[in-house]
Amino acid sequence: MAAKSGFHSSHESVYHYLRTKCHASHSYQNPMLFGDRAVSFLGDVRFPSSDLAEIFISEGTLHLNVGRAHGVFKDDEYDIFPYDPKMRIQSFTKMASVRIKVDIVHGITSDVVVTQGSSSGEEIRTGWKARPLTHFSAQKAHVNLASNVGASKDWSVALASSKFLQPISENMESPPYSYQVNMNDHLEYEVSDSLGNRLINVPVILAQTAGAMANVVRILEHVAKFKSIEILENRLMSSWLETAFTVNIFDSQQQTLDASGVLEVRANEVVNFTFRNLSHRPLYLTIYDLTPAWQIQGIFSSGGGPDYWVIQPEDKAKNYTGQKNIPMRMVIPEEIKQRGLTECDDVMKLFVTTRPTSFAALNLPKIKMLDETLSRNKSDDLADFLAKLALPHRGSDVDRPHDEDWATRNYIIRTKAGDKEYR
């Protein structure tokens, strides 16, 4: 019956809807999702729920389920609309909606107000979806155009239209740039860092091909998003949370990070992360792998697990150990090997929160290579969440635990090929 009526909804979209409804009524109930979140019920149309935030109502106030930890800023704008499991992806931009604006940003949620499409907001319900429209991050990645590229008006317009990029001229008195576009001897555009080193595993674009400039801008946007997630941190984290957990990392020989914060392993070697909850309340752990292919994926969710794991404090009576062990087998991706490289770095980014939250919006695909079509990530709107945090200094209440406190940790795992690889 559902299939005949055109019902198409992924496991993930239904889960997020039910989780939001459940949390609004019972804040301590946190349903979890296991399995392939992209699979659709009775059909092949997939609802991109991870690309959208969600509305919930508490004590008569409208809230979003994203906050500072997701890169949200005051005055960010969203369109919101009712959740409909039969909705097809193509219908998002066609439906009537209500516009909201972020009023107050908290750690992992935000308070919002209605600005358009509703006089009272009374018809809005918990579980409505929110699609980002505008983003008010104060920081952008500065891009320099080398002299052999030329700072044409077209380049300036293309870069300035991006939410993540700001063009500067080589001859202007400008802030230090993050990336530079060069033209190599083969008349190809290359992207290098501020030291002039070409970015590894980033495609070059033949200058004479149609859409070359647009493709370079898209690559720069992807890299800027990736880097903004890598440096994402909570500058308002309470001192309580700083001491509430420990993370230990060891290779198969029980070696740990070196003085520079890097753990070197051989290909196929297993690295063990041990997270220990030292507090007296549950902590929620999410881990993302920022890969050498400029891809970001959840360690738990990509394997069919939940968005996060709940780490209960140690309680021998309840058989809680207060810790979780996470083994990870490190490999060198094929695209890295094909470039003749024998080592690569993965940045493992840990998010620790004091209440459940999803960071699914942080997922990024790999950068498309030369023989593939370079196109905007379907979650490009949601990428507004990914700009760098520009937060004030800590307040006066940093010593007490918060319901919306969060912390991050970055760990670099360097995987090297060798005569003998682990099997």
Per-residue pLDDT tens over the stretch 248-260: 999 999 988 887 7
pLDDT for the residue numbered 83:
72
Q: How far apart are CA 3 and CA 20, in angstroms?
A: 25
Residues linked to residue 2 through DSSP beta bridges, in sequence order: none
Q: How far apart are CA 303 and CA 35, in angstroms?
A: 8
- Spatial contact of 247 and 325, defined as CB atoms under 8 Å apart: no
This prediction has a pTM of 0.70
* Token digits of residue 261: 């914060």
Tell the residue number behind the tokens 């063009």, with chain if given: 167
Per-residue pLDDT tens over the stretch 358-415: 888 888 998 864 444 443 344 444 444 444 333 333 333 444 456 778 999 999 999 9
Strands (E), 278-400: 283-290, 296-298, 309-311, 323-329, 343-353
Q: Which of 270, 299, 290 lies closest to 344, judged by CA? A: 290
Query: What angle is formed at CA 161 by the lines to CA 362 and CA 217, rounded to 5 degrees?
Result: 65
Per-residue pLDDT tens over the stretch 287-322: 999 999 999 999 988 777 788 899 999 999 999 999
- Spatial contact of 136 and 77, defined as CB atoms under 8 Å apart: no
Q: Which of 98, 109, 92 lies closest to 24, judged by CA? A: 109
DSSP per-residue string spanning 73-89: -TT-EEEEE---TT--G
Tell whether the model's pLDDT for residue 90 goes beyond 50.
no
